[in-house]
Amino acid sequence: MVRGKAEVFFLAIVAVKREAAGTKRRTFLFRRDPFDILFYIITAMAALAVVAVTLGIFYILLRESYPAIEKFGVTGFIFAKDWDPYREIFGAATNLFGTAITTVLSLMIAVPVAIGIAIFVTEIAPDFLKGPIGAAIELLAAIPSIIYGIWGFFTLAPIMANHIEPFLMDTLGKVPVMGPLFQGTPMGIDLLTASVILSIMIIPFTASISRDAFNLTPEIVKESAYAVGATRWEVVKNVVIPYSRLGIFGGVALSLGRALGETMAVAFVLGNNHQITTSLFDAAATITVTLANEFTEASTKTYLSSLFYLALLLFMLSFAILAVAKFFLVRYEKKNPGER
C-alpha cells in the first residue's frame, strides 16, 4: 500500500513538472523582459535564414534552368549522352557518370584509410604521436583545393602514368571480370587519378570525426573487454567501432558531400571528356568540372540554361544524399538510443 502511494505521488510530481514546462514554453513570448524576446527573435531569424538561403538557391537554379527543362525535359536531359555546344544538344549522362565514379571510388579508397588512421591515433599510437598526427590530419583539411590540383597535375599524374597505372594494367588488367577497368593508355589525367586526389582530400573529414567518435567510447567498457581476455583487435572490432558507428557514418556522409562538390582539384587531373567510358584510365567529365570549364564559354541562352540545369541536378543530388544519410542516422538512433 505504501509503495502504491509513493508511485502515485511520484507520477503526480512528474505531471506537475511537465505542465509547468509546457506553460513556460507557451508564455515565453509574453514575458516582459525585452532581452528574452530579442534573443528569441535573433535566434529564430538565424535559423530561418538557413532555410531561406536554401530555398533562394533552389529558386534561382530552377528559374535559370527552366528553358533547358522546357526544351530537353527531365529524362531527356538526364539520360542523354550528347554534350555538343555547337549544335546546342545537351545531356547530363556523361557528367553524372563521371561524378558518380569519382565519388564512389574516392570513398572506397578514403574510408578504410581514414578509419585506420582514427584507430591508430586513439588506440595504438603512443601519447607523444597522437598530437602531431591529429594536427597533420586537420592540416590536410585546411589545404586549398587548388593546391591539391596543382600537386596532382605536376606530381601525382606523372607517377600514375609512369608507374602505378602500367602496373595495374599488367596485373588487374588481365583479370577477366575487372580487367576492362584497367585497360587503355595510361596518361595520368583520368578517372583514377581524380579519384585518388579526391580520396586524399576527404580523408581528414572521416578520420577526424571517427577519431572524436572513438574517443567517446567509455574507458570502462574497453577495460572490461580487456579484463575478460579480449585482444586489442577484438576490442576495436567488437567494442569501439560498434559504439562509434554513428560518428563514422556521419564522417562518411560529410566526406561524400565534399567529394560531390569538389571542383578545382578534379579539374586539373580529370580532363573534360564528355564520354561514358569503361576504363578508369580515360578522361571524363563531372558536373562541377563542366561548370567550372564552360560557364564563361556559354554564349547562347540554351547553353547557359543547360549549365544551370546541371547545377540544379547537383544541388538536388547533394540534398537527396544528405537527406537519406540523415534519415538512416535518425532511424538508427531510435533503434539504438544508447549508442553514439
CB 160 within 8 A of CB 188: yes
Q: What angle do CA 255, 256, 262 make, to 5 degrees?
A: 85
pLDDT at 340: 52
pLDDT at 56: 94
State the amino acid at position 77 in one-letter form. Answer: F
If you classify domain 75-335 with CATH, what class do you get?
Answer: mainly alpha
pTM above 0.75, yes or no: yes
User: Quick one: pLDDT at residue 2?
Assistant: 43
The DSSP code sequence of 43-89 is: HHHHHHHHHHHHHHHHHHHHHHHHHHHHHH-SHHHHS---EETTTTE
Under 8 Å between Cβ of 204 and 140: yes
- Tell me how far apart the alpha carbons of residues 256 and 16 are, in angstroms, rounded to a whole number: 47
Q: How far apart (Å, rounded) are the C-alpha atoms in residues 178 and 162?
A: 21
Block residue for cell numbers 586489442: 232
Task: Give the CA distances from residue 227 to residues 58, 221, 222, 244, in Å, rounded to whole numbers and listed in that order.
Answer: 55, 10, 9, 21
| pLDDT for residue 3 | 47
What is the pLDDT, as a whole number, of residue 77? 92
Quick one: cell of 336? 539504438
Q: Which helix (H) or strand (E) element contains residue 28?
A: none
Q: What is the mean pLDDT of each run of 10 residues along the chain (340 residues)?
A: 48 52 52 75 91 93 92 90 89 92 94 92 87 85 89 93 92 87 89 93 90 87 87 88 85 86 88 88 91 86 93 90 78 61
Domain segments of the chain as ranges: 2-69, 75-335
Distance CA 189, CA 277 (A): 14
The H or E element that residue 90 is part of is strand 89-90
pLDDT digits (tens, 9 = 90+) for 226-239: 888 888 888 888 88
